[in-house]
Structures are given as C-alpha cells and as structure tokens.
C-alpha cells in the first residue's frame, strides 16, 4: 500500500472514530425513512418523512464538517510541513522559533535562505535545546540564540511566532495528535490561552537566559 492509500485509510478510520455517533444516527434515519414509506402514504407519514430527511441532511453535514476538521491543519509528510513553514516564515516578519534542534530546516534550501535573511535583518530568535552547525551560522549572521538544554527537558510541542512584537503577532503550534498525524494550529491574541502560554514561555526562557548570562559574568 502506497503512502497516499495509507493516508486515506488512516483518514477514514479517524473520521469514523470521530463521527461514529453521526454515522449511527444517519443509518437509523435511513431505516426510519424506509419504515415510514412501507406504512403507506398519508399526511402524517409525509410530515415525518420531511423531518427525517432534514435530520439526514444535518447528519451528513455534521459528517462532512468532521471530515473538514480532520483534514484541516493536517500535514502527512516532511515536505508538506516544510512548505507550510516556508510560507509562514517567508511572508511574515520577526520570527521566534521554539524547537529541539530545528532539524526540519537542515535539508531545505528555501527555508535556510529565509532564515539567513531574517538573521541578517535581526528578525530571528532561536530557542533550542541544541546549538547545531546551522544555528551557529545563523548566529554569525545576526540571529539571537537562547538555549534551554540546562532544563534537561524537551517539550513535545514546537511553535513558531511571527510578526513578534507587532499588532499582527501570531503563533503556529505543531504537535502530533492521537492518531499520529502532525497538526499545525495557528493562534493570535484573540484566541486566548494557547497564545498567551507561548508568550509566557518565551518571556520565562528569555529571563532565565539573561540571568544565566549575568551569573556567568559574575
């Protein structure tokens, strides 16, 4: 089975798991229509049929809505994730990247070029557990590096903030869901807690980095 078929099967299974109630309701409604029509035509059966048909429409809409939500923000390959990240970085301003080692960028020349340009424009902050050769090069070009290896903990969530410090500031948070699908969700200040937790984490790590720097100088 190739990747596209495998992905299609996973999507179908995920849709059924997510929308099993709607599927059961839809099957029940279809049987109800059959039963009503078998009882013969009269004004009552006509009204019941109309109500059931409307309910079937609502159930089908719910299933399609669940399918859309399942497909939305889902990225099934490294190339798809990189395409998203390239557009996210290239078409926005000051960026803060929170990752383990940013390995996803190493083999993508377009992303590396965007990162270099942002570093040279002093629009790039990297919050990572490891200082890789790419990170060292970006630092030389002007990127600001904050390491969190001293925490001895690597968060499972990754995020990238763009337009940092502006009214259009927003964050993309990437994480695998319960089905192993990588999802990227976007948030802005009006979206509430996820956005502000990211802001708090950036502020906390920045302060810790500054305090460590002062202690080392003393």
Q: Are 128 and 147 in contact (CB under 8 A)?
A: yes
pTM beyond cutoff 0.95: no
3-class state of residue 59 by DSSP: helix
pLDDT at position 68 is: 53
C-alpha closest to that of 98 among 141, 140, 151, 137: 151
What confidence tier does 30 reach under pLDDT thresholds 50, 70, 90?
low
User: Which class does domain 75-217 fall in?
Assistant: alpha beta
* Pairwise pLDDT comparison (16 vs 48), residue with the higher score: 48
pLDDT above 70 covers a percentage of the chain that reads 64
pLDDT at position 152 is: 81
Domain-wise residue ranges, the chain: 3-72, 75-217
Q: Distance (Å, rounded) from C-alpha 130 to C-alpha 191? A: 31
Using the predicted structure, report yes or no on whether residue 82 has a pLDDT greater than 80: yes
pLDDT at position 155 is: 78
3-class state of residue 51 by DSSP: helix
pLDDT at position 181 is: 77
Q: Distance (Å, rounded) from C-alpha 139 to C-alpha 97? A: 13
pLDDT at position 47 is: 65
Q: Distance (Å, rounded) from C-alpha 203 to C-alpha 96? A: 12
What confidence tier does 26 reach under pLDDT thresholds 50, 70, 90?
low
130-170 confidence digits (pLDDT tens)? 899 999 999 999 999 999 888 888 777 889 999 999 999 99
Quote the tokens at residue 203.
Answer: 């502020």
DSSP alpha helices (H): ranges in 97-142?
109-120, 133-140
What confidence tier does 1 reach under pLDDT thresholds 50, 70, 90?
very low
pLDDT at position 107 is: 86
83-132 confidence digits (pLDDT tens)? 999 999 999 999 999 998 998 898 899 999 999 999 999 999 999 998 99
pLDDT at position 4 is: 46
- For the segment 61-89, the average pLDDT, to the nearest whole number, is 76
pLDDT at position 191 is: 82
Q: Are 52 and 32 in contact (CB under 8 A)?
A: yes
Token pair 């383990």 is found at 100
3-class state of residue 131 by DSSP: coil
- For the segment 43-69, the average pLDDT, to the nearest whole number, is 61
């Amino acid at each position: 089975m190739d990747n596209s078929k495998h992905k299609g099967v996973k999507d179908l299974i995920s849709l059924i798991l997510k929308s099993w109630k709607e599927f059961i309701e839809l099957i029940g409604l279809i049987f109800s229509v059959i039963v009503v029509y078998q009882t013969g035509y009269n004004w009552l059966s006509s009204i019941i049929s109309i109500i059931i048909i409307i309910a079937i429409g609502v159930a089908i809409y719910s299933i399609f809505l669940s399918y859309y939500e399942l497909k939305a923000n889902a990225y099934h390959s490294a190339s798809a994730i990189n395409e998203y990240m390239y557009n996210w970085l290239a078409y926005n301003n000051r960026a803060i990247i929170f990752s383990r080692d940013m390995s996803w960028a190493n083999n993508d020349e377009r992303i590396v070029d965007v990162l270099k340009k942002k570093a040279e424009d002093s629009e790039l902050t990297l919050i990572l557990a490891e200082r890789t050769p790419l990170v060292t090069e970006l630092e030389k070009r002007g990127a600001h590096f904050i390491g969190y290896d001293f925490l001895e903990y690597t968060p499972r969530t990754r995020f990238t903030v763009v337009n940092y410090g502006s009214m259009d500031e927003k964050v993309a948070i990437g994480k695998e869901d319960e089905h192993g699908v990588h999802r990227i969700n976007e948030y802005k200040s009006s979206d509430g807690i996820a956005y502000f937790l990211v802001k708090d984490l950036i502020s906390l790590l920045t302060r810790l980095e500054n305090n460590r720097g002062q202690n080392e100088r003393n």
